[in-house]
């Protein structure tokens, strides 16, 4: 006891219900942070010498939330949001930018956003050299030139060189929503680079056949019908069998809510038939952050309503996405030595109308909101 009283911590979070699926923890404990790292998780930590003490009584304490589908190259591409206000302030300490930029404009993103943000930002490099520039402003006609012309806007050699020079930040390749030829080229590039591939849930079931163990299918529960069988369900509302095959071989199923990619009926049918999300993500961008997405805790709340347990929801928002991007030893966990990222959440009980992308609502009995956010031992919000 005498030794413990001398311990000096930057932050101690006291008396909260700690949920850390990476360690199988779900009980009232304290969390101590020193020098930007988690140093202790247990009951009765002596916080008398702590610089800051947060009383989390009645709250849920989790590892900092990890969102693997956002668009946050703020000021570089029109579709991007401010990662500080839209992600970090709402409990998300680590994000993965899902292909906002390509090999021709990634360096501006890295230099002016990633290096200056308090939010920890990793990136997927879009297989298209200019990234998602077609999401610019209304009444622009030139974006139509891109559609169906993947071979003109993809440079595998340049993509591989950019990945090679930026492996500290770039974790994989993103294919968005153009032709199947783009999926093939993205697969080729990912294999040569030895990195993961994230693909949007379109041109199914052909697209998913290109996905390997550790790759990610995002926009899992969209209701779009670009083609007859575009997405998770067939015309009879049944999960396409290729999705079960993909789950068996280790393809990661990601939510990627966004402004067009989450429908209550699709999620309900998909989960009922056994396709549950491995990772919960927001697809936050300029057209989704003011609704229907709002933030990570709101998206998590929708999956509480869909029948996932609180621990499942936290796992899909911390440990599992950290594993998906192969950073499980540094984020998504409260293990001693991991980054000192902590999110304190309040689970509200009541009647909360939450809406999908077609403005169809469900009355949810629970809603999560972020109360405190700690990033590398610093209380940021």
Q: Where are the beta strands (DSSP E) in the chain?
A: 11-20, 25-34, 37-42, 52-55, 60-63, 65-70, 92-98, 120-126, 170-175, 196-200, 216-218, 252-253, 342-355, 361-375, 378-379
Q: What pLDDT, in 10s, does the model give residues 39-87?
A: 999 999 999 999 999 999 999 999 999 999 999 999 998 899 999 999 9
pLDDT at 2: 42
pLDDT at 3: 46
Residue whose token pair is 């919960």:
280
Distance CA 196, CA 126 (A): 12
Cβ atoms within 10 A of the Cβ of 345, count? Answer: 27
pLDDT at 114: 98
pLDDT at 142: 67
| Tens-level pLDDT at each residue, the chain (381 residues) | 444 446 789 999 999 999 999 999 999 999 999 999 999 999 999 999 999 999 999 999 999 999 999 999 999 988 999 999 999 999 999 999 999 999 999 999 999 999 999 999 999 999 999 898 876 556 667 667 766 666 778 999 999 999 999 999 999 999 997 889 999 999 999 999 999 999 999 999 999 999 999 999 999 999 987 665 589 999 899 999 999 999 999 999 999 999 999 999 999 999 999 999 999 999 999 999 999 999 999 999 999 999 999 999 999 999 999 999 999 999 999 999 999 999 999 999 999 999 999 999 999 999 999 999 999 999 998
Q: What pLDDT, in 10s, does the model give residues 2-40?
A: 444 467 899 999 999 999 999 999 999 999 999 999 999
pLDDT at 339: 98
How does 310-328 read in b/e, with b if 16+ C-beta sit within 10 Å?
Answer: bebbbbbbbbbbbbbbebb
Report yes or no: 300 and 4 within 8 Å, Cβ to Cβ. Answer: no
pLDDT at 1: 40
Cβ atoms within 10 A of the Cβ of 227, count? Answer: 11
**All structural domains of the chain:** 2-62+339-348+366-379 (2.30.40.10), 64-324 (3.20.20.140)
pLDDT at 149: 66
> In the structure encoding, which two tokens stand for residue 375, read together?
């990033």
Q: Of 230, 228, 265, which is closest to residue 356 (Cα–Cα)?
A: 265
Q: What φ, ψ does residue 157 adopt, rounded to 5°?
A: -60, -45
pLDDT at 139: 66
Roughly what angle, to the nearest 10 degrees, separates helices 156-165 and 180-193?
40
Distance CA 202, CA 224 (A): 9
pLDDT at 138: 62
Distance CA 372, CA 225 (A): 40
The pTM (predicted TM-score) of the whole model is 0.95
Report yes or no: 8 and 39 within 8 Å, Cβ to Cβ. Answer: no
């Amino acid at each position: 006891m005498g030794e413990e009283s001398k311990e000096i911590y930057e932050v101690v979070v006291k008396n909260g219900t700690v949920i850390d699926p990476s360690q199988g923890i779900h009980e009232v404990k304290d969390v101590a942070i020193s020098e930007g790292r988690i140093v202790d998780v247990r009951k009765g930590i002596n916080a008398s010498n702590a610089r800051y003490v947060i009383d989390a009584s009645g709250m849920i304490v989790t590892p900092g939330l990890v969102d693997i589908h956002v668009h946050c190259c703020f000021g570089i591409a029109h579709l991007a949001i401010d990662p500080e206000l839209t992600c970090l302030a709402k409990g998300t300490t680590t994000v993965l930018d899902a292909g906002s930029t390509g090999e021709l404009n990634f360096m501006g993103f890295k230099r002016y956003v990633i290096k200056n943000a308090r939010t920890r930002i990793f990136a997927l490099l879009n297989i298209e050299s200019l990234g998602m520039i077609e999401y610019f402003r209304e009444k622009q006609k030139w974006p139509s030139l891109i559609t169906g012309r993947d071979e003109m806007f993809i440079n595998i050699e340049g993509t591989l060189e950019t990945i090679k020079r930026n492996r500290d930040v770039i974790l994989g390749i993103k294919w968005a929503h153009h032709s199947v030829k783009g999926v093939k080229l993205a697969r080729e590039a990912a294999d040569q680079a030895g990195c993961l591939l994230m693909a949007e849930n379109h041109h199914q079931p052909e697209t998913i056949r290109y996905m390997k163990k550790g790759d990610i299918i995002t926009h899992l529960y969209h209701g779009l019908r670009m083609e007859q069988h575009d997405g998770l369900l067939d015309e009879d509302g049944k999960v396409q069998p290729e999705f079960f095959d993909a789950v068996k071989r280790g393809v990661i199923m990601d939510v990627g809510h966004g402004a067009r990619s989450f429908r209550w009926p699709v999620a309900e049918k998909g989960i009922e038939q056994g396709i549950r999300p491995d990772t919960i993500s927001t697809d936050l961008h300029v057209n989704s952050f003011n609704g229907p997405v709002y933030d990570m805790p709101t998206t998590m709340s929708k999956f509480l309503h869909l029948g996932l347990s609180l621990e499942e929801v936290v796992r899909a928002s911390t440990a599992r996405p950290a594993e998906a991007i192969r950073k499980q030893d540094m984020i998504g966990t409260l293990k001693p030595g991991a980054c000192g990222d902590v999110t304190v959440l309040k689970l509200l009980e009541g009647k909360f109308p939450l809406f999908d992308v077609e403005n169809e609502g469900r009355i949810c009995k629970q809603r999560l909101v972020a109360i405190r956010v700690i990033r590398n031992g610093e209380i940021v919000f």
